Amino acid sequence: MILADVSLATDDTDELARLADLVGRGNVVVLTGAGLSTESGIPDYRGPDGRRRVTPMTYGEFVASAENRRRYWARSYVGWRRFAAAGPNRGHEVVAALQDAGHVRTLITQNVDGLHQSAGARDVLELHGNLDRVLCLQCGDRSPRVELDARLREANPDFEVAVGEIRPDGDVVLPEDAVACFHPPRCLVCGSDELKPDVVFFGESVPKPLVAQCFAEVEACDGLVVLGSSLQVMSGYRFVRRAAAHGIPVAIVTRGQSRGDGEATIRVDAALGATLTELAHRVGLTRYAAPSPS
């Protein structure tokens, strides 16, 4: 677990008191984004200015050619080991504890890393799916990612390359000559090479029944708390808009700018781990000590 040691500005401290009051009353929906997992070593897509730092492969590119799928799986194969080794941080632990204590009505995440579940959260609504599952686009078969990884290791026993930083969706940048040597996976049911992680790629849409379920949860809550998301994509921002339209308080805790700042009634710009530790302390979760004054 990695916990940032930060102090809150006076204005943020006042906002945190309002956040603690909102969460303490319960029946809140929590919406999380990539910023919650950065303290676990998984980078987010955007910098503090809201601009995208990396451009992932789109769904259109993935289905367009076998070579594109080879490139994706080669990069993902290398990155998956480091991605899968990441563990939940203090932010994930606090969210799970708030849920267990009855403060959180529903947990919605844009993340595909499964770290909320690893921290003990229940019934997580995963807007963008989860990288630990694999889907065949031809026959619809789903299988565990760990099984596919074992097959890829067997098919590529000598595939070892030096890599840089892992990306938010679990892949890395590889040289083209390395990609050309990679043997991509095929479906064990139908033999197709159109295997895809069971996540929503850029260019795809979140399933409509899931969106409807999330809208219903937001409309029934007494507060929407956004953690670690710039809300630049509509898949998350629409819930902020829906809450605001229904007069439901919106709290946003994230570093840097957020697309939802105009709708926010509570806004905290601070590191998630330390902020959520203090929040847990304020709502009475005694297992979390208050951060030491700086």
Domain membership flag for residue 157: yes
* Residues paired with 29 in a beta bridge: 106, 224
| Domain range enclosing 64 | 53-85+130-199
Instruction: Say whether 225 counts as a known binding-site residue.
Output: no
* Residues paired with 223 in a beta bridge: 28
The residues annotated as belonging to the active site are 128
End-to-end CA distance of the chain: 21
Domain membership flag for residue 15: yes
Judgement on whether residues 277 and 194 belong to the same structural domain of the protein: no
Question: What is the pTM assigned to this prediction?
Answer: 0.88
What is the CATH classification number for the domain harbouring 190? 3.30.1600.10
Judgement on whether residues 222 and 237 belong to the same structural domain of the protein: yes
Among 184, 199, 214, the domain boundary falls at 199
Is 74 within 8 Å of 66 (Cβ atoms)?
no
SS3 letters for 249-279?
Answer: CEEEECCCCCCCCCCCCEEECCCHHHHHHHH
For residue 5 the two structure tokens come to: 């040691």
Is 148 within 8 Å of 100 (Cβ atoms)?
no
Domain membership flag for residue 178: yes
> Which tens digits make up the pLDDT trace of 227-260?
999 999 999 999 999 999 999 999 999 999 999 9
**pLDDT at position 45:** 58
Q: What is the pLDDT along the chain (294 residues), one digit of tens a residue?
A: 233 333 455 556 789 999 999 999 999 999 999 999 999 988 765 555 445 445 678 999 999 999 999 999 998 888 887 788 899 999 999 999 999 999 999 999 999 999 999 999 999 999 999 999 999 999 999 999 999 999 999 999 988 765 555 555 555 667 677 788 899 999 999 999 999 999 999 899 999 999 999 999 999 999 999 999 999 999 999 999 999 999 999 999 999 999 999 999 999 999 999 999 999 999 999 887 655 444
Instruction: Say whether 110 counts as a known binding-site residue.
Output: yes
Domain membership flag for residue 285: yes
Which residues 6+ apart lie within 8 Å of 176 measured at CB? none
Closest CA to 109 of 260, 197, 240, 235: 235
Instruction: Say whether 228 counts as a known binding-site residue.
Output: yes
Judgement on whether residues 30 and 139 belong to the same structural domain of the protein: no
**pLDDT at position 230:** 93
Instruction: Say whether 131 counts as a known binding-site residue.
Output: no
**pLDDT at position 150:** 95
